[in-house]
Structures are given as C-alpha cells and as structure tokens.
Amino acid sequence: MSTIGKTAVAQHFVSLIQSMIETCSVSWFTNRMGEKVAAGTRAKLLAAAERLLLTERYEDVSVRAICVAAGANPAAVHYHFGSKEALIAALIEDRLGPLWAEGLAAATATEPSSVPAVVDAVLAPFVDLAADPMGRLHLRLLAGLILRRRPMSWQHQWFRMESWSQLLPELTSGEARRRWQLAFDLIIMRFGSTEDYDIAPSAVATLREFVIAGLSAPPPVPASTASHTAVQE
C-alpha cells in the first residue's frame, strides 16, 4: 500500500474513533441531563404536595393539583411515583427517614439491641416533629397512611416491618411484627392526632414505659400448654 493509501486509512480510522467518542459523549450528556431533569421534577412534585397538604386535607389534594403546583406534566405523578399514595410515602420517607437513621443506627449497633434504647431513638424525632408545624404535617400524613392500612411499597429500611421484627429475636417473626405494629399504632395515634400536639413530657414518659413493657414481655404461652398447666394445677 502506498504512503498516500496508508495516510487515507489512518485518517479514516481517526475520524471513525472521533465519531464514536462524540456519539458516546452526546449520549452520556443526554442521559445525565435526563437524570437531572427527572430528579428536579421529582423534587418539585414532593415540594408541591407538601405545600398543598400543609393547608388542605389529604382527600382534597388531587394528583392534578400537585402537578399544576409543581409546574409539571399532568401525568408526572404517575410517571415518577405511580400513584398519589406512593408520592406521599416517598415524601414521608424523604423528610422523616433521615431523622431516625442516625439514632436507630446507634441503638441497633450492638446485638441484641436494647429495647429501651431503640424506643428512645424512635420517640425523640416524634417529640421534635410535634413541636413544628411542618413536622406536624408529616406526622398527620404518616398517621393517615399507617393507621388506615394503606398498601404501601416502602423503600427506607426503617419503614419496613421486617427491619423491626428482627430486633426482637426471642420472639417468633409473627409475634415480633404484631408487637411492633401495636407499638407504632399507639405512638402514631398519640403524635399524629390533629387535635392535640402539645404532649407533656410526663405523657411521653408514660408512653415510653408502656411501649417498652409491651415489647419486652415474655413470649406468649401457647394455648395448648396453658390449658395443660391449668389442668395439672
């Protein structure tokens, strides 16, 4: 092959490589921009829902109203979250998840976990939230989702019941789940009430002791065993 021919091949190869790099760069840039736009839209939807729910009832806030307030496409909520309930769950996890993360990480660092330490880590953010208007909104939304047993797909570790049942290894998984569910029902009902946010320290202390006692109680005796023992006596 002549020198001219070799030069032409080399130039063609260089051009091909440059074209591939440019294509990859454009694709990467486009993907990154798309991710940023999606994240921005998601954040706007969460903020819009939060603003609306601060002054309106959950039932009165529509998906359309959230999209309009966020300046987003009418289908944005369904695209990013799937449903209004999933959006609210994401809002609660986004706002409340970090409040529990550090305290619960410390309380569960040792095995077995100390039930009083875990309960303290749970209650402390509730007390702080109840003293703040925006915090009270989040508690009210949490109460609406949990106490009404709305089916939710929680993503955060401490919003999934299996994370809690593992903290009571002396109990069966089912019994541990039931105890934690009752504990959270009681806590959320107390702090998520729309009528009484001013909870006295003495009331919080009583709630704490009650929850600890319920979680720490010995495993229940099977009905057949209890009946056999009663007959012997």
Instruction: Say which residues have a Cβ less than 8 Å from residue 141's Cβ, sequence separation at least 6.
Output: 53, 58, 88, 91, 92
Sequence spans of domains, the chain: 3-70, 83-225
Mean pLDDT of 78-93: 91
Q: What is the pLDDT of residues 204-215, one digit of tens each?
A: 999 999 999 999
pLDDT confidence of residue 63: 95
pLDDT confidence of residue 33: 40
Q: What is the pLDDT of residues 134-181, one digit of tens each?
A: 888 888 888 887 887 777 778 888 888 889 999 999 999 999 999 999
Provide the pLDDT confidence category of residue 230 given band limits of 50, 70 and 90.
very low
DSSP state of 151: -
Mean pLDDT of 104-123: 92
CA distance 169 to 118: 14
CA distance 119 to 124: 9
* Helix 84-107 with 133-147: angle, nearest 10 deg: 100
State the number of CA atoms in the 13 A half-sphere of 146 facing the CB: 25
CA distance 26 to 75: 28
152: number of Cβ within 10 Å: 18
79 contacts 69 by C-beta, under 8 angstroms: no
CA distance 45 to 170: 43
**pTM of the full predicted structure?**
0.71
pLDDT confidence of residue 194: 58
